[in-house]
Amino acid sequence: MNETPTLPTAPQSTVLVATDADHVHDEVAAALSGDHQVVRVHTGAEVLTAVTTHQPVLVVLDLQIGNMGGMATCLDLRLEQRAERIPAQRIVMLLDRDADAFLAHRAEADAWLVKPVDALVLRRTTREALAA
């Protein structure tokens, strides 16, 4: 019996998505799940714990998430990073409109894009954020 040898596969890197909108999660997962394991949390308050648990290479924050919005969550991650309680994070924010770019910049996001999520734009933005 001839068996084709299988090569070991490298473990996928993790992308953490914080959104309470199912369609946003589905769009991000569809765009990135080929190259990354996509893990979801539903609130901004869950992000810090998820970052320490999953050690993602990228955090994707929806600007409009539950009890702690994307901007506050991004600022919280940056404060934790500066205090050296978590490693440096690459953060992409998903905005509702172009004018929200000011908020993403103030929150110190590495990159941002406006919803609805365009898979090609998200993949390019992810590559650029991870390469920086």
pLDDT digits (tens, 9 = 90+) for 100-111: 999 999 999 999
Question: Which pLDDT does position 99 carry in this prediction?
Answer: 94
**3-state DSSP assignment of residue 18:** strand
Question: Which pLDDT does position 68 carry in this prediction?
Answer: 85
> Does residue 7 sit within a domain?
no
Average pLDDT, the chain: 92
Upper half-sphere CA count for residue 75 (Cβ side, 13 Å): 11
**CATH code of the domain containing 78:** 3.40.50.2300
Number of domains in the chain: 1
> Does residue 103 sit within a domain?
yes
pTM: 0.90
99-125 burial code (b ≥16 CB/10 A, e <16) = ebeebbeebbbbbbbbbebeeeebeeb
Dist CA 130 CA 91 (whole Å): 9
Q: What is the tens place of the pLDDT at every residue in 14-42?
A: 999 999 999 999 999 999 999 999 999 99
Of the candidates 83, 3, 6, the one whose C-alpha atom is nearest the C-alpha of residue 48 is 83
